[in-house]
Amino acid sequence: MSWQARNHRKAALLFLLLLLGVVLPLALWRRAENGGGRVAVITVAGAPYRTVPLSDGERQEIVVATPNGFNRFVVEDGAIACVEADCPAQVCRRRGPVRHVGAFIACLPHKVLVEVRESP
């Protein structure tokens, strides 16, 4: 085998190892990000209200009633969304479903915050 063929093989092997070193961690990160280990943590005025797993199980409805009004959330398909609220701006409802770690829904008039976190 000539030295050119050996160098070509070494370069191809190095490229494959680098590619695997980049693709594998990204694939594992995406799997963890979209996997089942996520929860929605609901707080009202900074106090814990409820923690809900974001699994792909059956649909769940949660009504959060505060002295300032109410929010109705629906958990389905691994996401949580505010589907009804009696606040004036409706920003929380227009936010749409959230499912990724770090995403949140906030209703400032009602002091309700929903954060997606990794489950403990």
Q: What is the pLDDT of residues 33-83, one digit of tens each?
A: 555 589 999 999 999 999 999 987 789 999 999 999 999 999 999 999 999
pLDDT for the residue numbered 62: 96
On whether both 82 and 69 belong to a single domain, the answer is yes
State which amino acid sits at residue 62. Answer: I
Whether residues 91 and 71 fall in one domain = yes
Query: The domain containing residue 77 runs over which residues?
Result: 38-118
pLDDT at 106: 97
Please report the pLDDT score of residue 13 as a whole number: 83
Checking if the pLDDT of 103 tops 70, the result is yes
Spatial separation of the C-alpha atoms in residues 108 and 116, rounded to whole Å: 17
| DSSP 8-class letter at 34 | H
Same-domain check for residues 46 and 102: yes
CB atoms within 10 A of CB 63: 9
